[in-house]
Amino acid sequence: MRGQDVDFTRFTLDVREFMPISEGLLHGFSFRQFASVTHSGDGRVPFYRLQSVGGARSLRGYPSGRFRDRNVLLANAEVRCQIWHWIDMAVFADAGHVFRTFREVHFADPRVGYGLGFRIKNEGKTLGRVDVARGQEGWELHLDLGSLF
C-alpha cells in the first residue's frame, strides 16, 4: 500500500467431511465448516486482503465476493447422490457471515443460500460443477472446475 506498512495475522480453520449413506453406493452427506479470523494491531487490513464470501466456492446463492470483511464464518452442507456413472447430483444449503468484530456477529440472521447442482466425475474425481442457487437477492448460476469440498 504505497509506502504504508500494514501488518496483520490471519487464522483459518477449514474442516471438510463426507459421511456415506451406503458403502456400495456413492451417496452421502458432505459438510464443510470454515472460519477465518484476522487480527491487526492498528485495525488496518488492505481492502484487497479482506476475506469474502459469495460465489461458487463459498456462499453459492450470491455473486462471487459479494460480502467482504475481516472475519468469516461459513458452513456448507450437501446431500450427494450418483445419478449416472459419471454424473452426481447434490442438493445443498450454505450459511455464512462476514464481520469486523465478534460483537457484530448476528447468529440469528446469517446470509443463506440453497440450491441444486450437478457434478461431472471421472475415476472418482470431480472435473466440473454446475450449481443453481437461491439467496436473499435472487438466483445465481455457478460453473466451476473441480470440487468445492
| Mean pLDDT, rounded, for 97-115 | 87
CA distances from 129 to 7, 47, 58, 116, 117 (A): 37, 29, 13, 11, 7
Residue 1 clears pLDDT 50, i.e. is over it: no
Q: What is the pLDDT of residue 36?
A: 96
| Mean pLDDT, rounded, for 89-99 | 96
133 burial via Cβ count (<10 Å: 0-12, 13-18, 19+) = buried
Residue 76 clears pLDDT 60, i.e. is over it: yes
| Mean pLDDT, rounded, for 116-128 | 92
Torsion of CA 99, 66, 49, 108, to 10 degrees: 20
- 69: CB partners within 8 A, 6+ apart: 50, 51, 98, 99, 100
What's the mean per-residue pLDDT of the chain?
A: 90
The answer to whether 98 touches 51, Cβ cutoff 8 Å, is yes
Cell of 76: 456448507
| Mean pLDDT, rounded, for 116-126 | 91
Q: What is the pLDDT of residue 124?
A: 78
> In this predicted model, which residue has the larger pLDDT, 42 or 92?
92
pTM of the model: 0.87
Q: What is the pLDDT of residue 12?
A: 96
128-144 residue pLDDT tens = 999 999 999 999 999 99
Name the one residue in this structure whose C-alpha cell is 464470501.
53
Cell of 55: 460465489
18-71 residue pLDDT tens = 999 877 666 899 999 999 999 987 778 888 889 999 999 999 999 999 999 999
SS (H, E, C) 28-91: EEEEEEEEEEEECCCCCCCHHHCEEECCCCCCCCCCCCCEEECEEEEEEEEEEEEEECCEEEEE
- Sketch out the chain's domains with CATH numbers: 9-145 (2.40.160.50)
| Mean pLDDT, rounded, for 59-87 | 94
